[in-house]
């Protein structure tokens, strides 16, 4: 399982994770790095709002701005497909909060007082 932390103010197109499966019996690729580029990747679960995507090679990225106040984390199921066989993996993206909200007084904390204009300063 892969785990990634991402700030909610990251720009769309930000790479969240690199996903890689290896095809150990691929004899046409000469080195280990090439063997890891054997697959196409697809999101099969966890992206109902289409907020993420995978570039064909291996980059998992955001399509929109994230909002931690709406969604704190995402759990995805990914498929790596080499043209014949599939492999599954999981990815969790935790959305990290950034200061993007104004402070607000709760409605119940507002107090209404009537003060006479003849009340002296510093009296309770």
Of all residues in the chain, the percent with pLDDT exceeding 70 is 85
C-alpha–C-alpha distance, residues 80 and 82, integer Å: 7
Residue 34, classed as helix, strand or coil, is helix
Residue 20 sits at φ, ψ, to 5 deg, of -145, 130
- Cα 75 to Cα 3, 44, 67: the distances in Å are 9, 11, 15
pTM of the model: 0.69
pLDDT value for 107: 73
User: For the domain 2-109, what is the CATH code?
Assistant: 2.60.40.60
Cβ atoms of 96 and 5 within 8 Å: the answer is yes
C-alpha–C-alpha distance, residues 60 and 92, integer Å: 11
Domain ranges of the chain: 2-109
Q: What is the pLDDT of residues 30-52, one digit of tens each?
A: 665 555 567 889 999 999 999 99
């Amino acid at each position: 399982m892969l785990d990634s932390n991402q700030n909610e103010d990251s720009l769309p197109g930000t790479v969240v994770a690199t996903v890689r499966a290896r095809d150990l019996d691929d004899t046409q690729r000469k080195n280990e790095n090439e063997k890891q580029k054997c697959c196409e990747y697809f999101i099969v679960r966890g992206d109902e709002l289409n907020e993420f995507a995978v570039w064909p090679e291996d980059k998992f990225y955001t399509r929109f701005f994230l909002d931690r106040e709406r969604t704190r984390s995402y759990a995805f199921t990914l498929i790596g497909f080499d043209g014949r066989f599939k492999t599954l993996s999981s990815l969790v993206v935790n959305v990290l909060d950034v200061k993007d909200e104004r402070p607000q007084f709760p409605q119940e904390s507002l107090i209404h007082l009537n003060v006479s204009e003849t009340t002296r300063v510093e009296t309770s």
